[in-house]
Structures are given as C-alpha cells and as structure tokens.
C-alpha cells in the first residue's frame, strides 16, 4: 500500500552466465557481502524463456546476456534495513542484473523463485471511481473473487493502519481472494495511486479482522460435474481444485439423470437453440452434484469455473476449471448456479433433504447424520404402523416392536450359505484334527480381509512358522 516501506526491502540479483561458468560467482557474492548485503535465498540454474523475459522486461540486450547459460540468482536485503536499490545501483557491476524497485522485485522473485501457490485473501483500498474501475478490471482479468466490500470514511488511525493518504474522500475496502493473491494483486495493480493493496498475508489478515470482525456470511451454490469430465476421470482433480479454493463440500451425489429429469432441471431453457443438445448431453452419462459453501459462493464458483466456452476460457482464464478440463461451449466440464435464487432452487432439485443454511460451514458428517436420521425415522414409522394394526397392550407392544425392528433391520447382516460340498469338507477336516488334537480341543483362527489382501498367504506363513495345523483351502480359517 502507499506510504512507509517495510522494515527490510528485498531485491533480486542475478549473476551473469559467463561469471557462473568460469566459477567466479562467489567473488560477486563476496562483494555484495562486503557492501552490507545479506543473502536470504540463492540458487544456480538455467532460466526458462519466460524467466528470461521477466528480468529483461523488453530489453533484448539483457535477454541475450542473461539467457545464454546458467545464472546464480540471489534474494538480498541490507544489513542495516535500508533500501537496497540505490546501493546496488552504486556498485556499477555489469555482471549483475539487479531489481530497482519493490514492484520489479515482486515480479522477478515470483518468476525465479516460484513457491507453492496457495489460496489467499488480500485487502485492497480504492479511491474514487477510477480506483474502483481499475480494481474491477484487475479482478476480471486475473480471476480475483470479491468476498466483501465496504465504503467508509477513514480516520487518521485507519489511514495509518492501511498505509493510505488521509483525505476527506470516502474509500472502498475490498476483500479479494485467489491463489497467490498477495503477490498477484500487487503485480496486477502496479504503481497505481488510486488502488492500495496489502503487501503481506499478515497485514491483510489483520486489516480484514479489524474491518470485518464477525467474518463473512456463508452462501451456498450448486456445482455439477458433467458427463465429459466424469468419463475422463477428472473428478478427483476438480474436487481438489474446489477444496483448494476454500469451498466446503457439504453434500455430494453421483447419479445419472433420466431424460425427463434433465428436461425438468433445464426447463427454463426450453425452446432455446441449445436446449435439446444440452439435455441429451447431460443425460448421456454419470454426473456429480455438489452442494458447496463459502462466502459469496455463487460468484466464487463461477469465477473458478471461468467463461462458459472452454476455448474462451483457455484464452482469458487459463487456470479456470473449464480452461483445464472443458472441450467447448457444451462440454465445458461443470455447471454453476448463476444467482443465489437459482442456487436455492437447484440445490433443492438434487438435495431435497439438505439442512437449512446457517452462518457456518456444514460438514459432510452432519449431512450424513441427517440422512441416517431420516432413514431411521422411515423404519420407525413402518414399525409403528405394523404395531397399530395388531394393537398390542402394555409391555407386549414393546416386545412386538422390538421383534419387528429385529426382523426388519435394513442393516441386518446377511448370512451366505456355504457352497455345495464345503460343509462336508469342513466336517471332514474337523474330524481329522480332532483325532490328532489333545482332548479333541481345536482352536480356530479367522484371518479377515478383502479379496487379494493376502489372507491365504498369512495362513500358510502361520502354519509353517508357528507350527499350527492346516489352512482350510476355501476359507480364511486356520485350524490350530
């Protein structure tokens, strides 16, 4: 944001390839140390074309010089916490490329020292209509999600906290989110004076907690993973992207819609040119329905989806779900509700038993518990109905209900009769073992596990190593 500089400004220094190849990089590093620079990061590597472009910034001579071989890249700060830029310029070493501002440092550091991109929230402060227009344009171009905004007149304390100039003009505070939001927003805004942004995650968190102490109300939306991505095996990757974007999946359902149900879901589009093809496609294979929750969920999910046409998405929002997994305008990976009203209607269509919305995320465990409760109620209603038919008196009613529940338990274990001839084999084996066992006492060990888990192998190992009896060839039992 505008105003005071952070305590220790960073700069990026790149040592030229011819110095690195000759083994003289350490001499340059020693010069930097003698001049009061502290190296916080270092790596030697050959830059990719995109990394070379990041430091060249359109200067062909720089691109040729530093893109010709391995370089040694450094992140440096001044020991005395002063600005490093003028001190680096005064060195006058033509073997070094040095960033000359905090903005160029952000850009080059992001290119040369890319970290794991994680989902972040950041704060922006805009001044007037020009600031608002600039930030809205940045959000559209770079995929920032607007979580919340508020207009307020700033006090002197506010201006100091946000590091903006105090004026009578009202400011607009914005909470934005996306992966790597802190750095990406600084780079996107540049040195514009009408927009100020947080420079660190801690700074953003502190400001957000100050001006939104109660957090943000949750919203729900529907997501549908379409037949093309489920058939291609992209379900897990898209779910991971959803979770990484800060959504809570409060309900999930895999199904294949009938033609009639698909027509009912898309009824508002009936008569439009794309309707018949859309209905046919959406009923052509399994889909995954998701109930998603997060602040401003409708807008956030549509931003993550990207433009409707996947080809357009690849051009304008290359990191969006449709850009990565979609094919065209119809086979575009996923569906998202277009408004809060549509979301409520569409969620009821797929999740009729979904609990009422609350101001906190609802976990999948709560949804599962609700579904189990509904199933229990259905069983009890049937049992009580049977009880009403016979009208037992007193404790007889309790006994009869208990017996009915025992006999009609939907989770009652199923006993599978052994295959023909197996019982005779078991009986024969037992007789032989009883003849050899002291007192006719036999211990039976059951080895339990799914198919292919190695039950038979374990039986044989126990028999051979522990001196037990024999393994029954058609079961997971060991007779000891």
Q: Of residues 234, 269, 335, 359, which has the active-site annotation?
A: 335
Q: Work out the burial of residue 116: count CB atoms within 10 Å of its CB; fewer than 13 is exposed, 13-18 middle, 19 or more buried.
A: exposed
What angle, 0 to 180 degrees and rounded to 10, lies between the N-to-C axes of helices 181-189 and 128-142?
120
Q: Give the Cα separation of 116 and 62 in Å (integer).
A: 28
Q: How many beta carbons lie within 10 A of that of residue 49, not counting itself?
A: 9
Residues 266, 195 contacting (CB under 8 angstroms) = no
Phi–psi pair at 179, nearest 5 degrees: -70, 140
Matching residue, tokens 């794991």: 116
| Burial of 414 from C-beta contacts in 10 A (0-12 / 13-18 / 19+) | exposed
Pairing of strands 334-336, 218-225: antiparallel
Q: Is 274 annotated as a binding residue?
A: yes
Q: CA dihedral defined by 147, 153, 158, 159, rounded to 10 degrees?
A: 110
- 234 catalytic per annotation: no
Is residue 332 a known part of a binding site? yes
Residue 446 annotated as lining a ligand binding site: no
Task: List phi, psi (to 5°) of 141.
Answer: -75, -30
Is 226 labelled a binding residue? yes
H-type helices in 92-164, by residue range? 102-112, 128-142, 156-162
Helix axes 340-350, 297-305, angle to 10 degrees: 80
Going along 65-207, which residue ranges are E strands?
70-78, 96-98, 119-127, 145-152, 171-179, 195-197
Q: What six digits make up the tokens of 335?
A: 């569906």
Residues contributing to the annotated binding site: 226, 274, 302, 308, 322, 332
What residues are labeled active site? 335
């Amino acid at each position: 944001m505008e105003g005071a500089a952070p305590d220790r400004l960073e700069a990026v220094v790149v040592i030229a390839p011819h110095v690195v190849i000759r083994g003289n990089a350490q001499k340059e590093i020693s010069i930097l140390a003698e001049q009061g620079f502290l190296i916080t990061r270092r790596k030697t590597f050959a830059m990719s074309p995109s990394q070379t472009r990041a430091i060249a910034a359109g200067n062909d001579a720089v691109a040729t010089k530093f893109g010709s071989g391995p370089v040694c890249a450094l992140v440096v700060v001044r020991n005395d916490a002063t600005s490093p830029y003028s001190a680096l310029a005064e060195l006058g070493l033509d073997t070094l490329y040095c960033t000359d501002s905090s903005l160029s440092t952000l850009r080059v550091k992001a290119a040369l020292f890319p970290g794991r991109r994680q989902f972040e929230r950041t704060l922006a402060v805009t001044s007037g209509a020009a600031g608002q227009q600039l930030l809205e344009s940045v959000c559209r171009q770079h995929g920032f999600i607007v979580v919340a905004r508020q207009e307020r007149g700033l006090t002197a304390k506010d201006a100091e906290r946000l590091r903006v100039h105090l004026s009578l003009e009202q400011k607009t505070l914005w909470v934005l989110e996306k992966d790597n939001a802190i750095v990406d927003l600084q780079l996107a805004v540049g040195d514009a004076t009408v927009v100020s942004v947080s420079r660190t995650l801690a700074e953003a968190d502190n400001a957000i907690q100050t001006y939104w102490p109660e957090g943000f109300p949750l919203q729900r939306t529907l997501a549908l993973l379409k037949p093309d991505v489920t058939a291609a095996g992209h379900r897990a990757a898209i779910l991971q992207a959803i979770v990484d974007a800060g959504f809570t999946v409060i309900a999930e359902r895999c199904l294949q819609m009938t033609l009639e149900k698909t027509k009912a879901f898309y009824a508002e589009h009936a008569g439009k040119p794309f309707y018949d093809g859309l209905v046919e496609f959406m009923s052509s294979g399994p889909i995954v329905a998701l109930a998603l929750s997060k602040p401003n969920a409708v807008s956030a999910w549509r931003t993550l989806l990207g433009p409707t046409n996947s080809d357009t998405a690849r051009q304008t929002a290359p990191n969006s779900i449709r850009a990565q997994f979609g094919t065209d305008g119809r086979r575009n990976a996923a569906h998202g509700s277009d408004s809060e009203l549509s979301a409520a209607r569409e969620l009821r269509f797929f999740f009729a038993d979904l609990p009422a919305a609350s101001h906190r995320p609802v976990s999948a465990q709560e949804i599962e518990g609700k579904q189990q409760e509904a199933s229990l109620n259905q069983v009890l209603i049937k049992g009580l109905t049977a009880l009403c038919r016979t009208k037992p008196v007193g404790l007889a009613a309790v006994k009869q209900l208990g017996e009915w529940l025992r006999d009609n338990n939907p989770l009652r274990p199923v006993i599978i009769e052994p295959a023909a001839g197996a019982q005779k084999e078991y009986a024969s084996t037992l007789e032989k073992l009883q003849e050899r066992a002291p007192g006719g006492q036999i211990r039976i060990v059951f080895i339990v596990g799914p198919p292919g888990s190695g039950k038979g192998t374990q039986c044989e190992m126990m028999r051979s190593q522990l001196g037990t009896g024999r393994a029954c060839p058609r079961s997971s039992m060991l007779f000891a």
